[in-house]
Amino acid sequence: MTISYHPEVFDDLAEIMRYYEAVAGARLADDFYSEFVHFAELTAKNPDALNLRKNGLRRVNLERFPYHFWFRLDGDNMRILVVRHHARKPASSFGRT
């Protein structure tokens, strides 16, 4: 299974990492990124283990950080569409494909 990313996912990650770096330093920002990559790779190994949500989307919650990402399966590709804080309303700016 390959992983691809909507181009705006990189903006999402950069914004989150800037926040963590500003409030706690580069190490916490790096920890966040490492956890995101870990869960993306883990999910790609068994994406069907996650329940299908609406419109063919699936959600993965990070463990240590209050963030999640949404992805869609397209054949042998797992496309990550967005990374969001748990408290953010899901409908806000979620029109990515």
**Assigned domain for 46 exists:** yes
The pLDDT of residue 92 is: 46
Report d(CA 73, CA 48) in Å as an integer.
Answer: 9
Instruction: Give the total number of structural domains in the chain.
Output: 1
- Residue from 71, 82, 81, 65 nearest 49 by CA: 71
**Assigned domain for 48 exists:** yes
| Cα–Cα separations (whole angstroms), residue 12 to 2, 68, 83, 84 | 20, 11, 6, 8
Q: What is the CATH number of the domain that holds 59?
A: 3.30.2310.20
**Assigned domain for 54 exists:** yes
What pLDDT band is residue 91 in, cutting at 50, 70 and 90? very low
Q: Provide mean pLDDT across the span 8-28.
A: 97
Which tens digits make up the pLDDT trace of 58-79? 999 999 999 999 999 999 999 9
**Assigned domain for 95 exists:** no
